[in-house]
């Protein structure tokens, strides 16, 4: 095989057109020109199969804001280019692509696909460690999408699109991931695109509504609260579950608008219930992204006034996974929300780190033990010891414990024995429309 530099003869006298001025790497124009050359003469150059790797970093803009101003991204790009060069060695050709992304073309023999995977893994490993820029150490998450020539396509635009789809999939599979393009991704991508375009109009088209899942106080046997859960019914997509649309809303930033809609409507419902003689504490799910909205606090205060709700009737639930991603500034907002009199709940406890440390870091007054723990009751006796210990420690710290996803009588009995404070789950009731909650309380058809 020839040396890669020989492929760039066309660019020698046109550096400003074919090279990125910050990193000094070949740019998008150069990629198109080189691709054309390879396509026409691949046998001559000995490059018949290659992988196109699209590499992106996460949170660069965010890091930029925190650290040294607008030149930080340039510094990071230069440094990333150096690190990538070190990983590639002579295995491929690197390009600086749009925004902050990079492209690597990796030639391989048909039997050597694992060579491409090994390179992707080594890049991810390298970036997992801290990178030093301008005296600051930063870590960045890296995602890689890979499309293969000629297996997936022989057109560059198509390969770029497929690598982008693979990258999109990698993002949804967790941090620091790489993915080869697969046909299934295309379907997922199309559905996601339809969700994105329809979700934007969902509030204006009155497609969102709320259901409420009751929470039972174990000692009194009374329904004392509800969790508000958003539902979406779209004319084209039908009912889309929150597990799907909340993630998209978070990715696209629509969660800010959706969160406001949720706060407004659930405050209104809570107020109406209080006036009707149903003093139900209403729990509302809050995403970490909402806490970055500088207007959130004023909005909450306005809504409390507008609907005449006592803050003590409202709780905000934030998951353990999201709480770890909060910055110091967001943590401050949680403190301010708490000072308004609204309770803070640590949701999905047990899914991620199962660390009670967050109770010392944030003003948490309740934790919700996740369904995955409750599901083990009756199957693994150790889980009872864990729940008992969590309850004991939480109790000492003045924090209430709710068990969620309780489905069976056995689970209910065990949790009662462990003195959990509240129970939520299908055993009590599925999420219901507001009227359903009122009927449930009126007819006392609970435990
Ligand atoms: P979550 O906060 O953990 O809410 C509980 C979820 O578990 C709900 O699913 C509920 O229907 C389901 N569930 C409750 N009891 C049981 C049970 O006994 N068995 C089973 N199998 N499931 C049970 P849902 O409504 O599909 O919501 C899923 C997640 O979506 C929620 O999990 C929450 O994280 C998120 N979510 C829902 N609405 C909103 C919202 O308005 N804003 C935000 N930020 N997130 C929301
Ligand atoms: Ca929740
Ligand atoms: Ca939960």
At 330, list the tokens: 């967001």
Instruction: Please indicate whether residue 262, judged by its CB atom, sits closer than 6 Å to ligand 1.
Output: yes
Q: Which residue has the tokens 């997936």?
A: 152
For residue 160, the SS3 value is helix
- Beta bridge partners, 347, equal 319
- Report pLDDT digits (tens) over 361-390: 889 999 999 999 999 998 988 899 989 999
pLDDT band at 446 (very low <50, low <70, confident <90, very high): low
Overall average pLDDT of the 391-410 stretch: 94
Instruction: Please indicate whether residue 100, judged by its CB atom, sits closer than 6 Å to ligand 1.
Output: no
Kindly give, in sequence order, each residue whose CB lies less than 8 Å from that of residue 246, ignoring residues fewer than 6 positions away: 230, 255, 258, 285, 287
Q: Whose Cα sits closest to atom 3 in ligand 1? A: 348
Instruction: Please indicate whether residue 230, judged by its CB atom, sits closer than 6 Å to ligand 1.
Output: yes
Contact yes or no for 431/211 (Cβ under 8 A)? yes
Instruction: Please indicate whether residue 407, judged by its CB atom, sits closer than 6 Å to ligand 1.
Output: yes
Instruction: Please indicate whether residue 239, judged by its CB atom, sits closer than 6 Å to ligand 1.
Output: no
Instruction: Please indicate whether residue 27, judged by its CB atom, sits closer than 6 Å to ligand 1.
Output: no
Instruction: Please indicate whether residue 63, judged by its CB atom, sits closer than 6 Å to ligand 1.
Output: no
Nearest-ligand number for the alpha carbon of 215: 1
Nearest-ligand number for the alpha carbon of 427: 1
| C-alpha of residue 211 to centroid of ligand 1, in Å | 10
Ion ligand 2, residue ranges at CB < 5 A: 285, 317, 347
pTM, full prediction: 0.79
Separation CA 42–CA 39 (nearest Å):
6
pLDDT band at 326 (very low <50, low <70, confident <90, very high): confident
pLDDT band at 324 (very low <50, low <70, confident <90, very high): confident
Mean pLDDT score of the chain: 89
Instruction: For 182-217, give the DSSP string.
Output: -HHHHHHHHHHHHHHHHHHHHTTTT-EEEEEEEEEE
Separation CA 63–CA 57 (nearest Å):
11
Question: Is the peptide bond preceding residue 191 cis, with omega within 30 degrees of 0?
Answer: no
| C-alpha of residue 3 to centroid of ligand 3, in Å | 56
For 196-228, letters b (16+ CB in 10 Å) and e give eebbeebeeeebbebbbbbbbebeeeebebbbb
At 210, list the tokens: 């709320």
Q: Whose Cα sits closest to atom 25 in ligand 1? A: 229
Instruction: Please indicate whether residue 350, judged by its CB atom, sits closer than 6 Å to ligand 1.
Output: no
Separation CA 198–CA 245 (nearest Å):
10
Instruction: Please indicate whether residue 425, judged by its CB atom, sits closer than 6 Å to ligand 1.
Output: yes
| C-alpha of residue 349 to centroid of ligand 2, in Å | 10
Nearest-ligand number for the alpha carbon of 350: 3
Query: How many Cβ atoms sit within 10 Å of the Cβ of residue 74?
Result: 15
Q: Whose Cα sits closest to atom 4 in ligand 1? A: 229
At 200, list the tokens: 């934007």
pLDDT of 81 over the 60 cut? yes
Q: Domains (ranges, CATH) in the chain?
A: 4-181 (3.30.70.270), 207-443 (3.20.20.450)
pLDDT of 63 over the 70 cut? no
Separation CA 40–CA 42 (nearest Å):
6
| C-alpha of residue 368 to centroid of ligand 2, in Å | 8
pLDDT above 90 covers a percentage of the chain that reads 65
Contact yes or no for 340/298 (Cβ under 8 A)? no
Overall average pLDDT of the 268-295 stretch: 95
Give the strand pairing for 141-149 and 177-180.
parallel
At 379, list the tokens: 């199957």
Separation CA 32–CA 102 (nearest Å):
14
| C-alpha of residue 212 to centroid of ligand 1, in Å | 10
């Amino acid at each position: 095989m020839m040396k890669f530099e020989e492929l760039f003869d066309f660019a020698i006298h046109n550096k400003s057109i074919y090279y990125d001025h910050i990193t000094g790497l070949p740019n998008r124009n150069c990629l198109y020109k080189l691709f054309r050359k390879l396509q026409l003469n691949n046998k001559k150059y000995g490059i018949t199969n290659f992988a196109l790797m699209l590499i992106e970093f996460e949170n660069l803009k965010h890091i930029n804001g925190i650290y040294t101003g607008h030149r930080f991204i340039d510094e990071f790009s230069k440094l990333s280019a150096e690190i990538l060069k070190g990983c590639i060695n002579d295995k491929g050709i690197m390009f600086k692509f749009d925004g902050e992304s990079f492209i690597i073309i990796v030639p391989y023999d048909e039997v050597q696909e694992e060579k491409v995977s090994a390179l992707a893994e080594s890049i991810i490993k390298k970036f997992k460690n801290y990178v030093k820029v301008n005296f600051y150490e930063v870590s960045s998450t890296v995602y890689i999408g890979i499309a293969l020539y000629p297996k997936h396509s022989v057109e560059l635009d198509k390969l770029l699109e497929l690598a982008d789809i693979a990258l999109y999939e990698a993002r949804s599979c967790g941090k620091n991931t790489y993915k080869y393009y697969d046909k299934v991704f295309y379907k997922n991508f199309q559905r996601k695109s339809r969700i994105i375009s329809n979700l934007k109009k969902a509030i204006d088209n009155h497609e969102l509504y709320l259901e409420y899942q009751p929470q039972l106080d174990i000692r009194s046997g009374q329904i004392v609260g509800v969790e508000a859960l958003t539902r979406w019914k779209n004319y084209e997509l039908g009912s889309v579950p929150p597990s799907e649309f909340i993630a998209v809303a978070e990715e696209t930033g629509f969660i800010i608008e959706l969160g406001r809609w949720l706060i407004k409507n659930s405050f209104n419902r809570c107020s109406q219930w209080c006036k009707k003689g149903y003093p139900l504490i209403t729990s509302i799910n809050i995403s970490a992204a909402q806490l970055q909205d500088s207007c959130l606090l004023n909005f909450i205060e306005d809504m409390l006034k507008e609907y005449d709700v006592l803050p003590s009737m409202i709780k905000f639930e934030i998951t353990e996974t999201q709480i770890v991603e909060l910055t110091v500034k967001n943590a401050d907002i949680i403190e301010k929300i708490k000072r308004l009199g609204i309770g803070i709940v640590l949701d999905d406890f047990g899914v991620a780190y199962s660390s009670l440390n967050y109770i010392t870091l944030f003003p948490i007054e309740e934790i919700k033990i996740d369904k995955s723990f409750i599901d083990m009751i009756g199957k693994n006796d150790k889980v009872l010891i864990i729940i008992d210990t969590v309850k004991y420690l939480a109790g000492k710290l003045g924090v209430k414990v709710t068990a969620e996803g309780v489905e069976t009588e056995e689970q209910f009995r065990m949790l009662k024995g462990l003195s959990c404070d509240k129970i939520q789950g299908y055993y009590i009731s599925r999420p219901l429309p507001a009227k359903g909650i009122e009927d449930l309380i009126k007819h006392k058809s609970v435990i």
